[in-house]
Chains A and B, each alone.
Chain A
Amino acid sequence: MKRLWVGAGLLLGMLALPQVAMAAGGATTQLFLNGKPLAAEVPPRIISGNTLVPVRIIAENLGAKVGWDDRTKQVTVTSGATKLVLTIDKPEVAVGDKTEQLEVAPTIVEGNTMLPVRFVAEKLGLKVTWDELTRSVFLYKKSSGTAAADSGANGGTSGAGGSAAAGAGAAGSTGANAGAGTAGGTAAGGASAGVAHAAEPDPDSKPGIVQAIDFTGDRLTIKTNGVTTKPNLFHLSGPERLVLDVPYAVLDEALKAKLNGTVGEIAVQHPLAQKIRFSNYSSDPPTARIIIDLKGRAELVPVEAKQLQPGQFAYDLKLAKYLVVIDAGHGGKDSGAISVTGKMEKTFNLAMATKVSELLRKEPLIEVQMTRSDDTFVELDDRVAFANTRNADLFLSIHGNKYTASSTGTETYYYRDESLDFAKTIHKHLVPATGFADRGVRQEPFRVVKGTTMPGILVEVGYLSNKNDEKKMFDEAFQNQVAASLVAGIKDYLNIQ
């Protein structure tokens, strides 16, 4: 077990950190675990003064096991001997064999189960503080080793308080001058993968040292003396940049000498990067920050440690792919519409979705995932959650229509205004490919286009209740042609040549 105990002094320091204070400009609530920002698929919500966070955060970062019973709408959180059973929309919580009342009941937001973070975290033995100024929730995890002794010995770390206050002031100026420009910044999903196991070192030990920062080819290499743990990687937008915070580390003298004021710069020649900046971002806890200012969408892919020297961390800068989720409507027990010749809509949908996905997989800038790739039933909310939790860039649901025998034509549906352009672009490509009547782009609150958080649309390719439409829709060449048109529409919308 790594040591995770954080002293009261560190807490004070964190509250004064500039990136936190500046985040107050944006309305979103930030969540920190031992000082590291936690990325959420949906931002924390404040309801009647209580912060609710997606259950995934609790599962992945607080070391608890989370179970979900769809029938009873109950979430079970288990950690060691602690067991909590929470129910959606109900304030009663079972804590072991006792029942307690929540001020605000768990709820579902955009397909994410949201739990009151303070209640759950405190039951799991974490310390929780709320900072009104920065609208931030700070969670502090104690190591299991000190937890037992902790109950009576909380004062043990208070001695650090005085020096922390001074440290906080220094951190303030450093951060501000560093020009990290974090206002409104949002940590992108998945970026903070390393957070949970980033340990807080012993406050008495010496900080690690960042000895060199090198960018060659596509690779950023950070050389340290081996004391520090894995840097925390996150993405900030407006302007686009990637940030690496090296925890409990300072720049060595050679790098410090290159600082102009508090920030140093490394010029780079790269199609995706403008420049690299670095600073001693915070002094309490000591944190060295490296920022890549981007020219466009890019991501840093960590290089495996075994390829590197001890104490080195390396990342390859790559064009960030667009994630497109393809949703084949219906499936399993839900056959969808039955066609005029007795064929099932779910079969058509899956054939089309598979063809579209195969074509998209050939696109170097697109990553594709299917909500179902075989004949399985998927609830509408699970389709929505599938796209939302993956932070998809686009969502496309494929259906076959049914009304009367004389109905014919192609329709594209959207619901949220941000999806309209995507709907129009797809429809423009789709209608000529089907050759059916153009029945227009329409707005309807279908679950999958209503609940998804990225541009999301649903296409009704043609009418399975119409003899002519149906015959074509089960024709291989027609399907290929329509699949190609959907891919062309996606690329058109994403501005991919």
Chain B
Amino acid sequence: MMQKSTIRVLLAGAAIATVLAGCGARDKAPAAQPQVAPSVAHSSGNAGSSAEPQAPQSKPQAPQPKTASVHTYFGDENGTGLVVKQTTITYASDSDKYGAALKALQHPGDSKAVSLFDGFTFKSVKLESGKLYLDLKLDDQARTGSEAEELTLQALQKTLFQFPEVAEIYVTVDGAKVDSLMGHMDLPYPIKRSQ
């Protein structure tokens, strides 16, 4: 219990530091920390704003953006494994958290990590009682080789299943179920945690 809250504090601190560092945070993710136990640490938007008061918005009732530190997954240089990083995501409401985490997968931040989601558009990301509905659009550049498709599916699952409330992922492409994302791997519908 003690240990857990310590890590929580540390991560919250990291989140504040990233917010302080400014908007470059999205592209310059901290180095991989796979040994960090909790996959998600929340810090309310207040922590950030107390450290760095922002200019009041024109709409005073607009909710403060929230931040969370999450694990993000990229291809390694060789294309045979994943690289995990700790990234702070910013989102308006809880329902936007998953989309924000997915978008972070498109910004590896350094040349040793390769985005597996170039050419992907996350058209719709919705969580309904444990079921995460994800509608994708893939442009021509999104289609990779067989091994990279496997890594892409792994990265997608690891990213979304780090949120304990996500039990299943229902992936569609342009609104339709597909047998395979890129023509090598199965695309189960839904993807379950065990898979």
Contact = CB atoms under 8 A, between A and B. Distances in A.
Interface string A338-349: 100000010000
A235 interface: no
Contact of A329 (B141, B144, B183, B185): B183
Interface in B140-191: 140-141, 143-148, 150, 179-180, 182-186
Interface string A396-427: 00011111100100010100000000000000
B104 interface: no
Interface stretch (A12-20, A160-168, A442-450, A481-489): A442-450
Contacts of A444: 146-147, 150
B75 interface: yes
B140 A402 contact: no
A480 interface: no
A171 interface: no
Contact of B146 (A335, A381, A458): A458
Interface of chain B, main secondary structure: loop
B84 interface: no
A379 interface: yes
A336 interface: yes
Range for the number of chain A residues in contact with chain B: 20 to 34
B79 interface: yes
Contacts of A265: none
A334 B138 CA distance: 11
Given A329-B183, A403-B114, A446 B146 contact: yes
Nearest to A448: B184
Interface in A317-376: 329-330, 334-338, 345
Contacts of B186: 380, 445, 447, 450
Given A407-B79, A445-B185, A402 B143 contact: yes
Interface residues of B, number: 20
A460 interface: yes
B144 A335 contact: no
B184 A403 contact: no
Contacts of A401: 145-147
B158 to A, nearest CB: 17
Contacts of A281: none
A460 B146 contact: yes
B189 to A, nearest CB: 12
B146 A404 contact: no
B144 A337 contact: yes
Interface of A: 329-330, 334-338, 345, 379-381, 399-404, 407, 411, 413, 442, 444-448, 450, 458, 460, 463
Interface of B: 75, 77, 79, 114, 140-141, 143-148, 150, 179-180, 182-186
In the A-B complex, the 7 residue pairs with the closest CB atoms: A401-B145, A403-B79, A338-B140, A402-B144, A402-B145, A446-B184, A330-B183
